[in-house]
């Protein structure tokens, strides 16, 4: 991935030199970088690794999924707060995650904790089971599991390219 990035920088600098402008502008350098990215994307199978910007795209996708889930769960929490009668059934449940690396489980725990209505209480010693406290377990457990699956899929895309 570092080789792809350095090659892209080289192509961008080469583009600036070929443009033969009196002053190097950011626009020319950015154009060269975009052209270099496209060339490297076309030749990605020759590098033996995935396209280096794929990880950045996966991170942006994970961020967008998090924002969507946070918005949805915020609406649910606001409905509960504004309702005249609190009919909540809080509870704790365990969830087995397929994530293997410690940082992946940590990111999943942080994303879930930042999502309103749920808190990760503990992760077992092997790191494959998460204990989650949910604000309303009876109604939103399936939604919470759906969110967890979406987060896991996006985290795996970031992790494994």
Across-strand partners of 93? 132
At 59 the pLDDT is 92
Q: What is the pLDDT of residue 45?
A: 82
Spell out the residues 6+ positions from residue 13 whose beta carbon is closer than 8 angstroms to its own.
29, 32
Output the pTM of the full model.
0.77
Range scoring the smallest mean pLDDT among 21-35, 42-56, 63-77 = 42-56
Which candidate, 44, 46, 40, places its Cα nearest to that of 11? Answer: 40
What's the mean per-residue pLDDT of the chain?
A: 89
- Mean pLDDT calculated for residue range 136-143: 84
Residue 83 has pLDDT above 90, yes or no: no
Q: Is the pLDDT of residue 110 over 90?
A: yes
Do residues 109 and 144 touch, judged by C-beta distance below 8 A? no
| Cα–Cα distance for residue pair 119/68, rounded to 1 Å | 18
Report the DSSP beta bridge partners of residue 151. none
Q: Which pLDDT belongs to residue 161?
A: 65
The residues with which 119 forms a beta bridge, in sequence order, are 133
pLDDT over threshold 70, residue 145: yes
144 closest CA partner among 111, 122, 102 = 111
- What's the pLDDT band for 79 if we cut at 50, 70, 90? confident
DSSP-derived letter for residue 131 is E
Helix, strand, or coil (residue 94): strand
Mean pLDDT of 106-123: 91
Q: Taking the alpha carbons of 21, 17, 19, 3 in that order, is the dihedral positive or negative? A: negative
User: Is residue 5's pLDDT more than 80?
Assistant: yes
């Amino acid at each position: 991935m570092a080789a792809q990035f350095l090659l892209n920088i080289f192509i961008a600098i080469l583009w600036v030199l070929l443009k033969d402008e009196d002053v190097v502008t950011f626009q020319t350098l950015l154009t060269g970088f975009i052209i270099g990215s496209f060339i490297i994307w076309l030749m990605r199978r020759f590098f033996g690794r995935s396209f280096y910007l794929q990880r950045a795209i996966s991170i942006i996708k994970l961020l967008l999924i998090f924002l969507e889930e946070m918005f949805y769960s915020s609406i649910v929490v606001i409905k509960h707060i504004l309702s005249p009668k609190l009919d909540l059934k809080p509870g704790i449940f365990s969830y087995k995650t397929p994530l293997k690396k410690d940082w992946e489980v940590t990111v999943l725990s942080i994303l879930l904790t930042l999502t309103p209505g749920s808190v990760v209480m503990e992760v077992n010693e092997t790191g494959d089971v998460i204990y989650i406290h949910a604000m309303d377990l009876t109604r939103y457990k399936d939604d919470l599991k759906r969110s967890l699956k979406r987060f896991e899929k996006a985290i795996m895309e970031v992790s494994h390219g």
